[in-house]
Structure 1
């Protein structure tokens, strides 16, 4: 049995980095993936501007140790990346005693498919796709 996830999308935020007491480095970020919106008949439709409307889903990505350090150093909000990893589900009880559930992708590999806005070649910022800043993650 295999648990493999492959996602291609844009970083919704700059990676957050922390270290455990045991010295494990952990980088986390949100990844937005999009697909065309469909009407009740299954057809894609255009928005008021004439562009194909899209549904965006947000995924929580976690990277450990060396991969986490690389992501923290080089990845920035808006970058297009490919993530290969596995789904991980968690269950916990919050401070109010309510049982909560969550999921994340534990990344084994992250490939940069675009350049950082801060570095790289001149004009790279002009090629970055826009993200919906009003979408919570």
Structure 2
């Protein structure tokens, strides 16, 4: 049997990290995943799913330190259900993703990403031979 989940999404809120009595870290946050398609009428449709994520130990500490709302992440883990009683007194079931692997992905407000997308200016042509002598300098115009 297999219980495995793979998600790529963006955080909907900043991670909340706390520590259990035994000193182990626990981190919780939500991740949104979306899918888009064209319906029968050719209209663009989009559906967003929200996933509750829980991480433990060192991975929880890393997530709490480096992730923030809007961060894009790759997650692997398993689905775990839990029962709770709603405000209306009805018992409900929530499904959480217990992540055991995370990769921080580019995007968002990363300065490196922004620099990587900046188009490079076209190269200038080398100037004609210098006027007034044979001054060979190291000034290369590109």
Deviation beyond 6 Å, 4+ runs, structure 1: none
Cα 1:114–1:90 shift into 2, 3 Å: same
With the length of structure 1 as denominator, give the TM-score of the two structures.
Answer: 0.72
| Pair 10,45 (structure 1): closer, same or farther in 2 beyond 3 Å | same
Name the structure 1 match of 2:134. Answer: none
Alpha-carbon separation, structure 1, partners of 2:15 and 2:59: 12
Q: CA deviation at 1:31?
A: 0.5
**Which consecutive residues of structure 1, in runs of 5 or more, have no partner in the other structure?**
47-52, 127-137
CA contact (8 A) 2:34 2:48 kept: yes
Q: What is the match of residue 106 of structure 1? A: 98
Uncovered stretches (5+) of structure 2, i.e. residues with no partner: 118-142
Corresponding position of 1:13: 13
Relative to structure 1, the CA distance from residue 82 to residue 30 in structure 2 (aligned partners, 3 Å threshold; closer, same or farther) is: same
Which position in structure 1 is the counterpart of 2:82? 90
Count of residues paired in the alignment: 116
3-state DSSP of counterpart to 1:23: coil
The structure whose Rg is larger is 2
Note the alpha carbon deviations across 1:24-66, whole angstroms, 9 max, x for none: 2111111100001453x4x7623xxxxxx42111000101010
Judged with a 3 Å threshold, the aligned counterparts in structure 2 of structure 1 residues 96 and 21 are, in CA distance, closer, same or farther, namely: farther
Q: Which moved more, 1:58-67 or 1:107-116?
A: 107-116
Let me know the Cα RMSD of the aligned residues.
2.5
2:49 to 57, 70, 95: 57
Quickly say closer, same or farther: Cα 1:35–1:115, change in 2 above 3 A: closer
| Aligned counterparts of 2:23 and 2:55: Cα–Cα separation in 1 | 14
Q: Which structure is higher in RCO with an 8 Å CA cutoff and minimum separation 6?
A: 1
